[in-house]
A and B are shown apart, each in its own frame.
Chain A
Amino acid sequence: MQTLIEKNLPAIACQNVFTDYQSTLKRPILNGIDFQINHGEFVALLGLNGAGKSTLLRSLVGLVPIKQGEIQICGTTIEPNHLGEVRRNVGFLFQGGGLIDQLSCLDNVLCGCLGELNTWQSLWGFPKRDRRIAMKLLQKLGLQEQIYQKAKQLSGGQRQRVAIARTLIQSPHILLADEPTSGLDVSGINQVMNNLQEMHRQGLTVVVVLHDLALASQYAQRAIVLEEGQVCYDGDCQNIERQFAKLKNLSQFQSASAA
């Protein structure tokens, strides 16, 4: 981590990123994305539905192939044979958690260790040391009573916190979160966002896709607003409401509903 910062490499760098042409949209989902995120930033990724927020986030871990341009994570270019190296530095929170419903919370968290263990080491379960770490993480996130519960039985907020524990056990440098608050109640939202803030304080670079502008300005230092696959605003969170009002589709939508 130290060496990465000393080298002065940005945590995330996107250069002219395009995805495949989408005939239903009559354009690629990502249509020439350019930005840099430095280590230790807390960035909110905003935009209307279909602007390409989730696709962008997924492309940062190689889940969406890019057609043109370059993405670098901590100086490593995303390429099929470098994916392992890139993913070692990145934790990803999926919308809804992306947990395996039939496994216990503990096992779900332990799944985060799979990258560090080879197939033989994980064939009969996980090492004691990892189990202890996983339990500690769950306790820290207030889930000590749910350790042996199946993920299926959890509430939305609890699921997201298990997912957070799963990314923490990988001790990543960068955390990408795809709408971690969707479907949660107010207390759930606050808990999850506070967890992200805590991770940011400990030095993680956090990029989070949000829908709620107020939430973005409350927690993030910087906002990147996407529109039709391009960055249309990149700056501080002070006046994102005004920036958001400028969006083409939003104004159309507003005038239609006003009529």
Chain B
Amino acid sequence: MKFIDRIRPYTSSRYYVWVIRILVSIGVVWAYIWSLQGLKVDPKLIRTSLPYMADFLSRLWPPDLSILDVAIKALIETVQMSLWGTTIGAILSIPLALLSARNLSPLWLRWLASFLQNAVRSVPSIILGLFFVTATGLGAPAGTLALGIYTIGYLAKFYQEAIESVDKRSLESLQVSRASWWQIAQYGVLPQVLPLCLGYTIYMFEYNIRAASVLGVVGAGGIGFELVSYIRGFEYNKAMTMMLVLLVVVTGIDALSSQLRNKFKSD
């Protein structure tokens, strides 16, 4: 009798699991169909526009290397913007992450902090760029500030997750050893959080180089400004040079940063 009592709830819960799985699958398929309808894709248009796309691409070649110096100068500015933007954002992210971490803050503060995070994250970088252009004028300072704020939206979340993944028992063991608040932070939390956070920050630096190229479009400095003005002036070969230089740098920094991130991970 006892044996049967133990079996029954198991089978009925299994039945519910299947119903839920089927409902979820239907929901996912529906979401895709609904999204496709919203896009109003016209297959005929894609077919007729193929020659235009080919024409656009063919005019990019060959790259005009005479503006290589301009490209490199713009690119250096982009990297400089990214470095400072990421750093500003990282510093501002720390308090926000502390306030939104589940193992540190009370619920109401977490709610407030994560609302702030979401608010920052939902502002597109271009809007931030426009905003700071009105504040500091055209050029790299506006882009740097925009990147700084944009970075908060992501790094605060990443840092928060790193803090939440700290092993609770290891901190309790320090507590039992009568370590002070600062000592627990220094010897317990920091060693566990730092490698993760550094990895995320380097990734963000790399990401911001790409984000900075978009910011140039609204005049907030960096390689994007030149890139867009060449495209607008139909100087496609020069634009190609710009993109190639960007490709080289992004690839190089990606290789470097993934190596660094691996090193932090193994530490």
Contacts and interface: CB of A to CB of B under 8 A. Distances in A.
A88 B178 CA distance: 8
Interface in B171-201: 172-180, 182-183, 186-188, 191-192, 194-195
Contact of B174 (A84, A114, A117, A119): A114
A253 to B, nearest CB: 10
A118 B180 CA distance: 8
Given A111-B174, A111-B177, A166-B177, A96 B169 contact: yes
Given A256-B6, A259-B2, A100 B192 contact: yes
Contacts of A122: 183, 186-187
A131 interface: no
A192 B2 CA distance: 40
Interface residues of A, number: 35
B178 A87 contact: yes
Interface stretch (A1-9, A101-109, A135-143, A182-190): A101-109
A61 interface: yes
B2 A256 contact: yes
Interface string A14-44: 0000000000000000000000000000000
Interface residues of B, number: 26
A92 B173 CA distance: 7
Nearest to A63: B172
Contacts of A103: 187, 191
Contacts of A94: 169, 172-173
Given A114-B174, A118-B180, A100 B187 contact: yes
A107 B178 contact: no
B3 interface: yes
Contact of A101 (B178, B180, B192): B192
B166 to A, nearest CB: 9
Q: Tell me what chain B mostly uses at the interface: helix, strand, loop, or mixed.
A: helix
Given A92-B173, A102-B192, A122-B186, A84 B178 contact: yes
Contacts of A92: 173, 176
B267 interface: yes
Contacts of B2: 255-256, 259
Contacts of A112: 177
A248 to B, nearest CB: 14
A114 B172 contact: no
Interface in A107-148: 107, 111-115, 117-119, 122-123
Given A95-B169, A98-B173, A111 B179 contact: yes
A41 B45 CA distance: 86
Interface string B211-239: 00000000000000000000000000000
A90 B173 CA distance: 12
Interface in A168-198: 170
Contacts of A45: none
Contacts of B170: 98-101
Nearest to A113: B177
Contacts of A118: 180
Given A100-B188, A100-B192, A259 B3 contact: yes
B199 to A, nearest CB: 13
Contacts of A88: 178
Contacts of B191: 100, 102-103
Nearest to A119: B182
A117 B2 CA distance: 58
Q: Most B CB atoms within 10 A — which of A90, A102, A122?
A: A102
Nearest to B184: A114
Interface in A241-259: 255-256, 259
Contacts of B267: 102, 150
A98 B172 contact: yes
Contacts of B192: 100-102
Nearest to B172: A63
The 7 closest A-B CB pairs, nearest first, are A115-B178, A98-B173, A114-B179, A102-B191, A98-B169, A259-B3, A119-B182
11 contacts: A63-B172, A87-B176, A90-B176, A98-B170, A98-B172, A100-B192, A101-B192, A103-B191, A117-B183, A119-B182, A166-B177
Given A100-B192, A113-B177, 6 more contacts: A63-B172, A96-B169, A100-B187, A102-B195, A111-B174, A111-B188
